[in-house]
């Protein structure tokens, strides 16, 4: 009945039975559906520190439902811890490392299904990608957000405040002692960053896609409700195996559209674009995710103002109705017949949902902004698109024009900020920091946060192909496609040239002639690197363009001719 039940007497049956009997597994248990519990727990980061307890509850529930759980651990990066080495180059490649680890463990052992404990930024998209690739019954349990606290000044702080205060220390408007005080209180529980950054955004995406149980996001990581979801998820994954409901039954083109509309409505992270693109690629869906973000942006308005987009916190969104509340507001635009992992359709899941706070989750006729949360900008600097979190751009800004101030790393840019070498009106370009250029995306996010801490983010624009945080706010154009290292126009912009960011027309252009740009691109040569056998070197040789989600495959360089 199950693919994991091998023929008695065969080599695979005999050697596996020997192993499992030594572990105390009975013959009766060996006939049950075998479920991988993908646990990303480690003690490097508070994002994951609670997952062992959650894993135990999931395993208990799987056993009670008639399944046999096997806990499998994978690599798990934290954007605030694993970013220390190689200028954060390991973060983005680790997403795809997780996917491949899951493939090896689940397919190598021929297990019947999997439940993934998803937490920090890269684990949720990796789990969705693995589910789409393997197409065995799968379910994501999103494991929740952290909360902040009060520092000695009685000011409430969270990790977002700490992150942005680096620039204040760099420019002298805050002391090191004040920053240290903030770090003492900024995190008061396990879980992912408190704001609507990439982690919480991807938790919402997982539910909007139908791959997690309805109401699982956002959720406080230290709550009884999360433990209840762990029990429900353990039971449900066994049912999914019995019913043979697989991820590609759920991850359809219509489900992807639902997820994109949800991101637009909440003002989710810019990084959702690359991650949803990667999920679609792994699911072999013939769709243009970047184009969908572009076309749907005229259809969906911003319905929430959760930090960094506004004053509310993730816990406010949770209490107001969470993802089901947002979906209920969008019901006239959604594909309501899409299947979800609980066996119901999106429409059935939200049929009785009532939003509990209409200020936190606005109705369509009273949005926070008529702009969408995330928009695609094109132009001669980004012919294949770039991404702007419009919900985090000042509402009164219609155009930003200034001289290019170019850096090849954020450390150099942060130093220049502290030395007064970045002026109001500058367009700071951080380039050669994309998935190919790193290789592995290099952090640009800390510089953007430093601008906010220095109090000049509304006067300086940032344009980059590097790694941005979903917590970033300000005039930021990210993920320029093609990236500089792939032969994109960003590679040939020169110091001091005028860059024009037109918010209303959603364009980004450098003020040079088409002929001049064509000539420069024709003369451009990619940086040659000798492979050194490292994971980053392997990644750099295999990673596909960011528009395809930066999944691993045959490397493509943009053709400038």
**Which backbone phi and psi does 386 adopt, to 5 degrees?**
-150, 170
Q: Residues 173, 469, 513, 537: which is the catalytic one? A: 469
Q: SS3 sequence, 409-437?
A: CHHHHHHHHHCCCCCCCCEEEECCCCCCC
Cβ pair 303, 361 in contact under 8 A:
yes
> Which residues, 6 or more positions from 204, have their beta carbon under 8 angstroms from its beta carbon?
217, 218, 262, 263, 266, 268, 323, 326
Q: Write out the DSSP string of 442-500.
A: PB-HHHHHHHHHHT-GGG-EEEESSB--TT--SEEEB--SS-GGGT-GGGG--TT-EEE
Phi first, then psi: give them for residue 375, nearest 5 degrees.
-135, 155
CA distance 215 to 322: 7
CA trace torsion 157, 162, 165, 166 (10° rounding): 170
Total count of residues recorded for the chain: 561
3-state helix, strand, coil split of the chain in percent (to 5) is 40, 15, 45
The b/e string for 479-516 (b: 16+ C-beta within 10 A; e otherwise) is bbbbbbbbbbbbbbbeeeeebbbebeebbbbbebeeee
| SS3 state of residue 107 | helix
Q: Are 230 and 61 in contact (CB under 8 A)?
A: yes
Which ranges of 4-146 does DSSP label H, i.e. alpha helix?
A: 11-22, 27-30, 51-64, 91-102, 108-109, 123-134
The encoded tokens of residue 273 equal 């674009």
Specify whether the CB–CB gap between 270 and 387 falls below 8 A. Answer: yes
The strand pairing partners of 499, in sequence order, are: 402, 510
Q: Which two tokens stand for residue 187?
A: 């995190």
Contact 98, 64 (CB under 8 A): no
223 is an active site residue: no
What residues are labeled active site?
Answer: 469
């Amino acid at each position: 009945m199950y693919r994991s039940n091998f023929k008695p007497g065969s080599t695979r049956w005999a050697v596996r039975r020997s192993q499992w009997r030594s572990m105390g597994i009975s013959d009766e248990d060996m006939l049950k559906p075998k479920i991988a519990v993908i646990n990303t727990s480690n003690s490097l980061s508070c994002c994951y520190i609670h997952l062992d307890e959650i894993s135990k509850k999931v395993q208990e529930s799987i056993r009670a439902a008639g399944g046999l759980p096997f806990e499998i651990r994978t690599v798990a990066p934290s954007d605030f811890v694993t970013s220390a080495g190689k200028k954060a180059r390991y973060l983005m490649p680790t997403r795809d490392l997780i996917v491949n680890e899951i493939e090896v463990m689940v397919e190598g052992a021929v297990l019947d299904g999997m439940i993934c404990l998803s937490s920090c930024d890269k684990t949720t998209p990796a789990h969705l990608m693995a589910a789409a690739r393997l197409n065995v019954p799968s379910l994501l349990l999103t494991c929740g957000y952290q909360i902040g606290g009060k520092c000695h000044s009685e000011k409430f702080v969270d990790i977002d405040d700490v992150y942005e205060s680096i620039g204040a220390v760099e420019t002298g408007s805050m002391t090191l002692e004040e920053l240290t005080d903030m770090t003492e209180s900024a995190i008061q529980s396990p879980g992912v960053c408190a704001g609507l950054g990439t982690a919480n955004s991807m938790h919402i995406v997982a539910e909007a896609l139908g791959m997690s149980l309805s109401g699982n996001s956002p959720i406080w990581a230290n709550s009884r409700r999360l433990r209840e979801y762990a029990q429900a998820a353990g039971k449900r994954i066994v049912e999914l195996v019995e019913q043979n409901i697989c991820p590609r039954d759920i991850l359809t083109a219509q489900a992807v559209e639902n997820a994109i509309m949800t991101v637009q409505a909440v003002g989710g992270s810019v990084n959702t674009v690359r991650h949803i693109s990667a999920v679609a690629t792994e699911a072999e869906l013939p769709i243009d995710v970047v184009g969908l973000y572009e076309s749907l942006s005229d259809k969906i308005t911003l319905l929430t103002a959760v930090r960094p987009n506004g004053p509310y916190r993730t816990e406010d969104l949770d209490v107001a109705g969470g993802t089901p509340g947002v979906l209920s507001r969008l019901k006239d635009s959604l594909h309501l017949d899409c299947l979800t992992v609980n066996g119901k359709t999106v429409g059935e899941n939200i049929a009785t949902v009532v939003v509990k706070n209409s200020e936190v989750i606005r109705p369509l006729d009273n949005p926070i902004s008529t702009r969408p949360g995330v928009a695609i900008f094109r132009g001669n600097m980004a012919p294949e698109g770039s991404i702007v979190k419009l919900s985090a751009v000042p509402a009164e800004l219609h155009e930003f024009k200034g001289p290019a101030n170019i850096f090849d790393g954020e450390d150099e840019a942060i130093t220049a900020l502290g030395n007064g070498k970045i002026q109001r009106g500058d367009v700071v370009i951080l380039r050669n920091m994309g998935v190919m250029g790193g290789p592995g995306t290099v952090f640009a996010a800390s510089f953007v946060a430093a601008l906010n801490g220095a109090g000049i983010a509304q006067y300086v624009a940032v344009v980059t192909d590097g790694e941005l945080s979903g917590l970033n706010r300000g005039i930021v154009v990210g993920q320029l496609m093609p990236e500089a290292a792939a032969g994109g126009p960003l590679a040939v912009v020169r110091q001091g040239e005028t860059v024009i960011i037109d918010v209303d027309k959603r364009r980004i252009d450098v003020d040079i002639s088409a002929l001049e740009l064509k000539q420069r691109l024709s003369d451009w040569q990619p940086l040659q690197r000798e492979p050194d056998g490292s994971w980053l070197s392997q990644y750099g040789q295999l990673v596909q363009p960011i528009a395809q989600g930066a999944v691993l495959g045959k490397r493509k360089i943009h053709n400038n001719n």
